[in-house]
Structure 1
């Protein structure tokens, strides 16, 4: 790679994203923290993002500074260029149209003077979710002759098939089914090809990085999701003394989380004569469905909208354990929900309905207990065991220590900064065999990693799609 010049104020990068401040959510929080670090480190940060319209699909801030075409500076010093969008419903095609329009608008605004006012971008970063953002990033990188970084926060597009979002409705077959299958295959092929051509692909887990290497995507680095959450309590057993077990789920309430298992498990605990109280707090497509299921089963579960971030500590202080859940879909074995790190940092024991890398992190750090995803009987048995004993086991202090060493905002900001400086300086591509595996931490960091090499080896062995490393 040829050496790229930096701007007068330091290296510059252009972020193409579908989700950004002042929206709230995991992608927005991630790039808020990363932007703050990179601005402090002297980077010129420009963001191409549509107006805030998550999760409702309708614009949430009517001020002119959030309208398409507006150019403002965000709270961390980043320049934000608002691009076009389309109000959408919860239907897949409606959301896909919104993402496509935002990607096309990002190409247009990304080449206009406002995006170049700080100098030619050295690096273009395209982040998923928002799969069309990848194509927009590739076009901008070609036009600017800049390095391209593709960031895969989740295992898209692998999740398309198991999630069923392109499945024919009502079990229909024939032409519609073939068309949807062709769309899924085409998206997968295009995204994988762009990943292979990128200067760097960033994933948030070791497991998904291994999957991409097996597909001949050689330049892969891992920058985990992070958290700035601080401990609510010191790890200690929670004495129940005959009272109800207090269980919390706070986060996205969608199809991916499979939270019906929590409702069914709570109903079974109640049927066995044990007191339990479950609170589900969040937003998502399944919020109403989950409430209806709780009513039908007469489960001791309350379902309510999200609370302000300032009240999250109160929820954690109330709970005896916090649930982190994903469905039993193969790509979720390569996924670690950012919520897991938050719960580990809080000092609460995790009830993990997880598999793959997320389950291994929970087990190896002593963060809590793991049950198979979707297994309501196993989950009910776990909670009944605690109630019978009258105590909820404390998590290991190692859990919070692991988060501080591997998933804190400061650590992740430094990792991203190092990767971007490698690209700007024209060093050997991160992840290439000749330069060593930069997806690993430095020797000092690796020695502090509580998972260790044995866990990384287990992840690679467990991945069913693993192939030889390039």
Structure 2
């Protein structure tokens, strides 16, 4: 009998997001391993979906076929304000709608529910208990620690959700994390069993980029990703703005993406004179080959997380593996496990200290045209430890073992 798994997630094909990239490839590996897969997901968010594919992500009562032959069961997407509270309300509505949609789909052997949309794992718990089948909780982020450090003020409902997430983690038949640091944190909290399947990248879709020749004093930096509170991007903007554009220095920062802090970051750049001078520019999100064009423009690619939140010591941005795969020089403002991963690439500059110290480091990079080389060693490490198709095989083996134990 064909094994069947049901995935509950807040983002999936044809969207282009970090959770989508992870799970689209993991689902492909499960399909190759002989699993039937049903994905329960909201209708595609137009802000995260390439224009030519938006029609494929619309809500429909009929199941649709995904790129690997999986079946997609969509719920309506409730689009609210692009704010912390608005996203939480949207996720809560989606979580409620997922339950009847999942229960109407064919009965699976296992249910997998994945964050960062916290209500999703609560929906997964309800479905697993109604079906009386094992639940796998896939934790991409360090929740609920991250919510506490962000000082989320969601009132009684938010506190109830935090308690529910902890309860579901403890009651799930398996919890999967993307970092070993957070896995250990969960074990200390009484969660068991916990396994680690890291984030990664499909290297067959990531080109190895060439070095861009540049003059002394010139430095182009590209940041592609979320413009949110967790990234602390204001320190990079202020550092670039403070570098004097004299003596041949020409340091430029290109910000590509969207997020709740983008308007505020644009205001910070404008107040510092960085927009008028051209030192900082903001671009809309891009998809496909346009991503690589921005990185080809750049001398170094940025990855950034707040360093004053303890939970980020065991958080590795999924973007990290993509940047290592490109071979481009990386400028990193990260700590903990993310810094350890980047240590396997030989062309990384780590930023630390206040705005003045970051500006000094960037000016030094600009002064030396040889300071931002392309190096393939980071790509080689990703091929061995963080290639998504291989990670998918490991995930399939975990699910098969859990299914066998449940049937016994």
Same fold, judged at TM 0.5 (above): yes
* Count of aligned pairs: 399
1:421-432 correspondence runs (5 A): 421-426=400-405
Q: Per the alignment, in what secondary structure is the counterpart of residue 129 of structure 1?
A: coil
Q: Determine which of 284, 288, 311 is the counterpart of 2:259.
A: 284
Is the contact between residue 50 and residue 102 of structure 1 (CA under 8 Å) also seen in structure 2? yes
Q: Is the deviation greater in 283-292 or in 103-112?
A: 283-292
Q: Determine which of 289, 306, 319 is the counterpart of 2:298.
A: 319
CA deviation digits over 1:362-396, x for unaligned, max 9? Answer: 12443402123x73233212212222334224365
1:60-79 correspondence runs (5 A): 63=55, 66-79=58-71
Where does residue 209 of structure 2 map in the other structure? 233
Q: TM-score, normalised by structure 2?
A: 0.90
Q: Determine which of 304, 310, 317 is the counterpart of 1:330.
A: 310
Q: Per the alignment, in what secondary structure is the counterpart of residue 252 of structure 1?
A: coil
What is the rounded CA distance, in whole Å, between the counterparts of 1:312 and 1:401 in structure 2? 21
RMSD over aligned Cα atoms: 2.6
The alpha-carbon deviation at position 24 of structure 1 amounts to 1.3
Is the contact between residue 320 and residue 392 of structure 1 (CA under 8 Å) also seen in structure 2? no
Is the contact between residue 363 and residue 370 of structure 1 (CA under 8 Å) also seen in structure 2? no
Q: Per the alignment, in what secondary structure is the counterpart of residue 225 of structure 2?
A: strand
Is the contact between residue 225 and residue 257 of structure 2 (CA under 8 Å) also seen in structure 1? yes
What is the rounded CA distance, in whole Å, between the counterparts of 2:73 and 2:171 in structure 1? 26
> Are residue 125 (structure 1) and residue 120 (structure 2) matched?
no
What is the rounded CA distance, in whole Å, between the counterparts of 1:186 and 1:245 in structure 2? 48
Where does residue 410 of structure 1 map in the other structure? 389
What is the rounded CA distance, in whole Å, between the counterparts of 1:60 and 1:51 in structure 2? 15
Q: Determine which of 359, 374, 377 is the counterpart of 1:380.
A: 359
1:247-286 correspondence runs (5 A): 247-270=221-244, 273=247, 274-286=249-261
After superposition, the Cα gap between the structure-2 partners of 1:397 and 1:63, relative to the gap in structure 1 and judged at 3 Å, is closer
1:425-464 correspondence runs (5 A): 425-426=404-405
Q: Determine which of 190, 201, 206 is the counterpart of 2:175.
A: 201
Is the contact between residue 122 and residue 147 of structure 1 (CA under 8 Å) also seen in structure 2? yes
The alpha-carbon deviation at position 240 of structure 1 amounts to 3.4
The alpha-carbon deviation at position 65 of structure 1 amounts to 6.9
Where does residue 145 of structure 2 map in the other structure? 158
What is the rounded CA distance, in whole Å, between the counterparts of 1:360 and 1:381 in structure 2? 24
After superposition, the Cα gap between the structure-2 partners of 1:64 and 1:284, relative to the gap in structure 1 and judged at 3 Å, is closer
Q: Per the alignment, in what secondary structure is the counterpart of residue 39 of structure 2?
A: strand
Is the contact between residue 328 and residue 375 of structure 2 (CA under 8 Å) also seen in structure 1? no
Q: Per the alignment, in what secondary structure is the counterpart of residue 359 of structure 2?
A: helix
Q: Per the alignment, in what secondary structure is the counterpart of residue 111 of structure 1?
A: helix
Where does residue 28 of structure 1 map in the other structure? 20
CA deviation digits over 1:134-173, x for unaligned, max 9? Answer: 1111111112221110011111221112223317xxxxxx
CA deviation digits over 1:259-289, x for unaligned, max 9? Answer: 1111111112236752112111111122222
Is the contact between residue 257 and residue 283 of structure 2 (CA under 8 Å) also seen in structure 1? yes
Is the contact between residue 16 and residue 125 of structure 1 (CA under 8 Å) also seen in structure 2? yes
Where does residue 340 of structure 2 map in the other structure? 360
Q: Per the alignment, in what secondary structure is the counterpart of residue 254 of structure 2?
A: strand
What is the rounded CA distance, in whole Å, between the counterparts of 1:56 and 1:232 in structure 2? 25
CA deviation digits over 1:209-230, x for unaligned, max 9? Answer: 1111111112111111121243
1:51-130 correspondence runs (5 A): 51-53=43-45, 55=47, 63=55, 66-112=58-104, 115-116=105-106, 120-130=107-117
CA deviation digits over 1:166-197, x for unaligned, max 9? Answer: 17xxxxxxxxxxxx3x5554433321221111
Q: Per the alignment, in what secondary structure is the counterpart of residue 401 of structure 1?
A: helix
Is the contact between residue 362 and residue 370 of structure 1 (CA under 8 Å) also seen in structure 2? no
Where does residue 349 of structure 1 map in the other structure? 329
Where does residue 389 of structure 1 map in the other structure? 368
After superposition, the Cα gap between the structure-2 partners of 1:163 and 1:367, relative to the gap in structure 1 and judged at 3 Å, is farther
Q: Tell me, which stretches of 5 or more residues in structure 1 are unaligned?
A: 1-7, 168-179, 430-470
After superposition, the Cα gap between the structure-2 partners of 1:243 and 1:201, relative to the gap in structure 1 and judged at 3 Å, is same
Q: TM-score, normalised by structure 1?
A: 0.79
CA deviation digits over 1:90-124, x for unaligned, max 9? Answer: 23333222222221221111112xx11xxx31110
